[in-house]
Amino acid sequence: MSAIYTPPPDARQSASLLLLRDGQAGLEVLLLRRAERARDWLSGATVFPGGVLEAGDRAAARFVVGSSDEALSARYGLAGGILDHALAAVRESFEEIGLLLACDASGRAATPGPAWADWRQRLQRREATLADACQALGLHLDLSRFFAWSHWLTPPGTATRFDTRFFVAAAPPGQAAQADQGEATELMWLPPTQALDPQRGYKLFPVTRRTLRELAAFVDVDAALFAAARLPAPIPRVMPRHARTRQGPTIVVPDHLAFAEVCKLDPEGLAHDVMTELVAGQPVRLSPRVLRVTAPNPGVMTGPGTNSYFVGDPPEDRWALIDPGPADPVHLAALQAAAPGPVRWVLATHTHRDHSPGAAAAAAAFGAVVLGRRPQHAKGQDPDFAPTREPMDGECLMLGSASTLRAIHTPGHASNHLCWLLEQEGLLFTGDHVMQGSTVVIDPPDGDMGAYLRSLQALLDEELQWLAPGHGFLVAEPHAVLRALIAHRLAREAKVAAALRARGQASLDEMLPEVYADTPQHLHPVARRSLLAHLLKLREDGRAEDLAQGRWRWIEAAALRPADAT
């Protein structure tokens, strides 16, 4: 645990409070809508109560019960200091909405008395501190249902920067929130999904939007507080980034698919020019060794389009092109324009028609050789793929003395699939073995679920920093992503097993609606292929048998031998 956190000097220390209650439609959170006012950065915005720390807040520490500076600070990985933020949140909540997280000396929830309004006004006018109010009213500040939630830092390049700790608390019982007329605000208790509803037209900052999405996952106050109390420490600091779309400037936050990539390319948040869209033909430099050009082939199965990657050794100026994409003269021209140097190798991760058909023309244009494995089956494959050589699993391609690409055979999505690992950066070009934001198709017989899971598992042994998928942005935390993919497939397998087991015998069409109830109807033809892949995997595991006429039968496992149970 580090004892000190040094916030950027231009950021003001602040705190926000997510006050929760159980409403008729489930969890509700308190939001304030500010009036439209000139020269007010909050003008018209819908926000959580909160504000900056005041020097006088700290004196109220002696009135706190139910939590401590040590406990709250530990959640942020700090030895101390966070109670100041918590007290600011408590004070702001009293000032802005009249709710005070307080109890009397015997621990009973405080009930508002006639003096409360006066103290609220004195706090607003900075004529008194929270400690003065507690002293005069004979109250303690009850933080027993008050927890750390998140930590956000406004990115550089914003007029006013805030370093904000978010807390979550159950609204105090027996008190009614009242808007502070001086601030000209409107109070709203809303289910998070309603606050997010575009129909309602609330002006929400990215941090508010993201926080509402987080809260939307909980059915009631207890569930949200339970989760807050168990958040892994330290709660990370999140800094959104100024970035760009084709339309102009934007702000990107963590649940955007581009966020990890934007953070990699703009670590300090000073560049402001990283794109949050994959624009066909527009090269993106991902590292000194890696440049991406997306093909103009977006679609249901290709997402934003196929990514072609130049990978090289800048000092020796020797480059490879991974996945030339479709045979499209427009894309080839974009690749030629973007090529960072002489291209010696054209590599195909696999031979689906969105990945390899451009290989021959690219190889001819660059004077390169083609490396990749020939397809084992005809369906959906590029029939013209003619590699100069078929790489072995584990084969290393020396791009230069300080840049090595290692081939990793990863059958599953396709039997001839290769991932390429740029060893010096722990950056894995995943082709379609891992796509960003969607599940890859496993279509038997070339697709093989058992092989797919083994290929994912094998990658867990590699030292990986980033995944560079065939479709999508760079993906951070590769091992967590790989584990999630394995868990997702095993969860689906469990559904298949349960559906077959319940029936004893069944056809694919009998099981499909149950196993893929969460998948949109229009994707069911694709899901049907995945269902078959799962059944073949279960057959491989000795748990299913395919009968005549496309019917399958469940096989109950033999009793485990003691040796298997260890």
Footprint on this chain of Zn ion (rule: CB under 5 A): 352, 432
One DSSP character per residue, 232-272 reads PSSPPEE--EEEEETTEEEEE-TTSTTHHHHHHHSTTS---
- Mapped onto helix, strand or coil, the DSSP state of residue 343 is strand
Give least dist CB 368 to Zn ion, A: 22
> For residues 63 and 429, which CB has a smaller minimum distance to Zn ion in the complex?
429
47 vs 129: CA distance, rounded Å:
24
> For residues 354 and 425, which CB has a smaller minimum distance to Zn ion in the complex?
354
Report residue 134: phi and psi, to 5°. Answer: -60, -45
Question: Listing from the earlier edge strand, what are the strands of the sheet with 418-422?
Answer: 396-400, 403-409, 418-422, 427-431, 466-469, 475-476
Which letter, b or e, does each residue of 426-448 get, where b requires 16 or more Cβ atoms within 10 Å of its Cβ? ebbbbbbbbbbeeebbbbbebbb
DSSP state of 222: H
Structure tokens at 7: 């916030």
Give least dist CB 350 to Zn ion, A: 6
Residue 565: other Cβ atoms inside 10 A = 6
Give least dist CB 533 to Zn ion, A: 14
237-238 vs 146-153, strand pairing mode: parallel
Give least dist CB 394 to Zn ion, A: 22
Give least dist CB 352 to Zn ion, A: 3
Give least dist CB 370 to Zn ion, A: 17
> For residues 313 and 446, which CB has a smaller minimum distance to Zn ion in the complex?
446
Q: Tell me the CA distances in angstroms from 548 to 180, 325, 505, 532, 534, one per residue in order.
A: 74, 40, 11, 14, 18
> For residues 75 and 352, which CB has a smaller minimum distance to Zn ion in the complex?
352
> For residues 165 and 352, which CB has a smaller minimum distance to Zn ion in the complex?
352
> For residues 140 and 352, which CB has a smaller minimum distance to Zn ion in the complex?
352
1 vs 500: CA distance, rounded Å:
50
Give least dist CB 411 to Zn ion, A: 12
CB 243 within 8 A of CB 276: yes
> For residues 51 and 470, which CB has a smaller minimum distance to Zn ion in the complex?
470
Dihedral, CA of residue 411, residue 413, residue 417 and residue 421, to nearest 10: -90
CB 161 within 8 A of CB 153: yes
> For residues 86 and 348, which CB has a smaller minimum distance to Zn ion in the complex?
348
Nearest to 189 by CA among 234, 221, 143: 221
> For residues 57 and 432, which CB has a smaller minimum distance to Zn ion in the complex?
432
Structure tokens at 152: 């956000």
Give least dist CB 303 to Zn ion, A: 11
DSSP state of 127: S
CB 49 within 8 A of CB 16: yes
Give least dist CB 483 to Zn ion, A: 22
